[in-house]
């Protein structure tokens, strides 16, 4: 610990003394999850982010090739506009398909890439796709106007008289609405439900765009292209229906989840225990989250994402929720027996990302929830695990007794970093982190906390020599439609 840390009045790292093995903590250590009976389950499939990225780029390359083999070189201006419109149109159609695939909640993609990264890719891809649609519209209009020697207004009127083009325009308007409501300035003023409802319009937009593409020369030109394009769309549609509707409905019938207990953890923070049949078959891993729909007044219409704050045991899932707004306030008032629909598990913030023996878990505020579950279950011997928990004061520490019990049981280090975030001493500065975790650069780091804290911690860790590939973060603010 640095001298500044020791003398700073507001900063109080609290190391938890390690008890001799077997001497027993003050609180009983949480039991280890029992091994599942029966034959070993099939391994969880995970698609690595790089693989998915390569696949998406490869698909874009194939689409460009499809355009390339059909393009006829010409020095004429209208042909130049038309050929540019074809390329941007094909890539935009492909872009919409990729955007839908990223949000289809395919388990191998969710577990390998992670929901927060998928949401980021989806949002960046959405901007590129809208740009391509805008370019396609302008190029197509100019091409038509030059070809027919008319002005742009007349060209627009003429083109709108074609059914497939009118469909594409309607689709474009829907996608533009999705883009506008997702812009940071607008998104912050909208309720999550409104934003999500507008996003549903993208499904109709994709269908209208598909009608337009089938009528266009690039796709309509050949039987094989038409078949391949249709198959790609049908596959994504089936994945969407299967993983977003059928799988959650089947899980609801199979597991019959209900709230079994709501427990106060700290002011404004509760744990909700949800019990069901055969919950182990959901194969939820510590660090993952579900989207929870509680069938009670004011909550049934929305699915809220919450991480598991403990490993699954005794057919029970546990979440720990901090009150932030209307929905989380209602979660606090849930009654035992309330039915629950839980979609998931989702997320790649799990032990499979680990590459080193030593692991640092770095939590801020309610970001402790997935880390609490990982702290208990990640394999490791004495001294391999360190948990740093940042909060403004002791009142902000949740699940404290459990964390201390796990630390003692596992001979793991646990430090609380208390103090205001705008204080003169920064407990997340590289020097302070190195003082608490001397061989920091040899660790994998799992990080979950408020965005500002996560950004500052990531920058510090990088400066302290931890490569970006070994910083694994979960972001509670990254929203997926």
Of the CA atoms within 13 Å of residue 99, those in its CB half-sphere come to 25
Using the rule CB under 6 A, give the single segment among 97-105, 132-140, 243-251, 315-323 that binds ligand FAD: 315-323
Rank residues 63 and 371 by Cβ distance to ligand FAD and give the closer one: 371
Give the one residue of 369, 377, 386, 458 binding ligand FAD; rule: CB under 6 A: 369
DSSP annotation of 309 reads: S
Min CB(242)–ligand FAD separation in Å: 21
Of 182, 470, 476, 481, the one binding ligand FAD by CB under 6 A: 476
Structural tokens at position 155:
């060209």
The DSSP bridge pattern shows strands 258-266 and 358-364 to be unpaired
- In sign, the C-alpha dihedral spanning 61, 67, 70, 76 is negative
Query: In the complex, what is the shortest distance from the CB of residue 50 to ligand FAD, in angstroms, rounded to a whole number?
Result: 22
For ligand FAD, the closer CB: 27 or 302: 302
Q: Which residue is nearest to ligand FAD, using beta carbons?
A: 325
What is the contact mask toward ligand FAD in residues 114 to 153, using x (rule: CB under 6 A)?
-x--------------------------------------
Residues 179-218 close enough to bind ligand FAD by CB under 6 A: 192
Residue 105 lies near ligand FAD (rule: CB under 6 A): no
Given candidates 366, 388, 391, 456, which one binds ligand FAD under the rule CB under 6 A? 366
Number of residues that bind ligand FAD (CB under 6 A): 24
| Token pair of 420 as six digits | 């205001």
Q: For residue 472, what are the β-bridge partners?
A: 446
Spatial separation of the C-alpha atoms in residues 435 and 429, rounded to whole Å? 10
Which of 160, 161, 162, 142 has the alpha carbon at shortest distance from 151? Answer: 142
Using rule CB under 6 A, residue 388 touches ligand FAD:
no
Local structure of 386: helix, strand or coil: strand
292: contact with ligand FAD by CB under 6 A: no
Pairing of strands 289-294, 304-307: antiparallel
Give the footprint of ligand FAD on residues 320-359 (CB under 6 A): 320-322, 324-328
Alpha helix segments (H runs only) across 256-360: 326-332
**Least CB distance to ligand FAD at residue 407 (A):** 20
Task: Provide the CB-side half-sphere exposure for 156 (13 A, CA).
Answer: 6
Peptide bond into 378 cis (omega under 30): no
Shortest spacing between CB 203 and ligand FAD, in angstroms: 18
- Residue 304, number of CB atoms within 10 A of its CB: 18
Can you give the binding site for ligand FAD, defined by CB under 6 A? 115, 192, 289, 302-307, 319-322, 324-328, 366, 369, 476-479
């Amino acid at each position: 610990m640095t001298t500044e840390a020791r003398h700073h009045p507001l900063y109080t790292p609290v190391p938890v003394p390690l008890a001799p093995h077997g001497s027993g903590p003050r609180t009983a250590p949480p039991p280890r999850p029992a091994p599942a009976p029966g034959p070993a389950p099939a391994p969880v499939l995970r698609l690595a982010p790089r693989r998915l990225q390569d696949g998406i780029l490869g698909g874009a390359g194939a689409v460009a090739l499809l355009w390339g083999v059909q393009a006829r070189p010409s020095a004429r201006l209208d042909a130049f506009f038309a050929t540019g419109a074809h390329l941007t149109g094909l890539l935009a159609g492909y872009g919409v398909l990729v955007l839908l695939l990223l949000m289809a909640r395919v388990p191998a993609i969710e577990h390998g890439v992670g929901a927060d990264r998928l949401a980021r890719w989806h949002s960046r891809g959405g901007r590129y796709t809208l740009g391509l649609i805008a370019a396609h519209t302008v190029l197509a209009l100019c091409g038509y106007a030059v070809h027919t020697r008319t002005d742009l207004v007349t060209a627009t009127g003429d083109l709108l008289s074609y059914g497939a083009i009118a469909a594409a325009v309607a689709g474009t308007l829907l996608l533009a609405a999705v883009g506008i409501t997702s812009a940071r300035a607008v998104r912050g003023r909208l309720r999550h439900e409104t934003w999500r409802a507008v996003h549903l319009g993208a499904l109709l937009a994709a269908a209208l765009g598909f009608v337009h593409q089938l009528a266009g020369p690039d796709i309509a030109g050949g039987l094989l292209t038409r078949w391949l394009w249709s198959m790609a769309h049908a596959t994504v549609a089936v994945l969407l229906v299967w993983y977003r509707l059928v799988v959650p409905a089947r899980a609801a019938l199979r597991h019959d989840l209900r709230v079994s207990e709501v427990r106060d953890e700290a002011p404004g923070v509760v744990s909700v225990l949800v019990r069901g049949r055969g919950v182990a078959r959901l194969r939820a891993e510590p660090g993952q989250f579900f989207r929870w729909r509680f069938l009670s007044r004011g909550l049934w219409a929305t699915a809220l994402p919450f991480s598991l704050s403990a490993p699954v045991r005794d057919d029970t899932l546990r979440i720990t929720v901090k009150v932030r707004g209307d929905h989380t306030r209602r979660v606090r008032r849930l009654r035992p027996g309330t039915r629950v629909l839980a979609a998931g598990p989702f997320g790649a913030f799990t032990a499979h990302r680990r590459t080193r023996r030593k692991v640092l878990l770095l939590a801020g505020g309610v970001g402790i929830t997935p880390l609490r579950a990982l702290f208990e279950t990640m394999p490791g011997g004495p001294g391999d695990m360190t948990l740093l928990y940042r909060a403004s004061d002791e009142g902000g520490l949740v699940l404290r007794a459990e964390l201390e019990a796990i630390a003692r049981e596992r001979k793991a280090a646990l430090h609380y970093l208390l103090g205001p975030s705008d204080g003169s001493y920064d407990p997340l500065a590289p020097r302070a982190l190195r003082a608490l975790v001397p061989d920091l650069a040899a660790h994998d780091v799992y990080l979950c906390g408020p965005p500002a804290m996560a950004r500052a911690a990531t920058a510090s860790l990088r400066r302290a020599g931890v490569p970006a590939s070994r910083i694994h973060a979960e972001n509670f603010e990254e929203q997926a439609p």
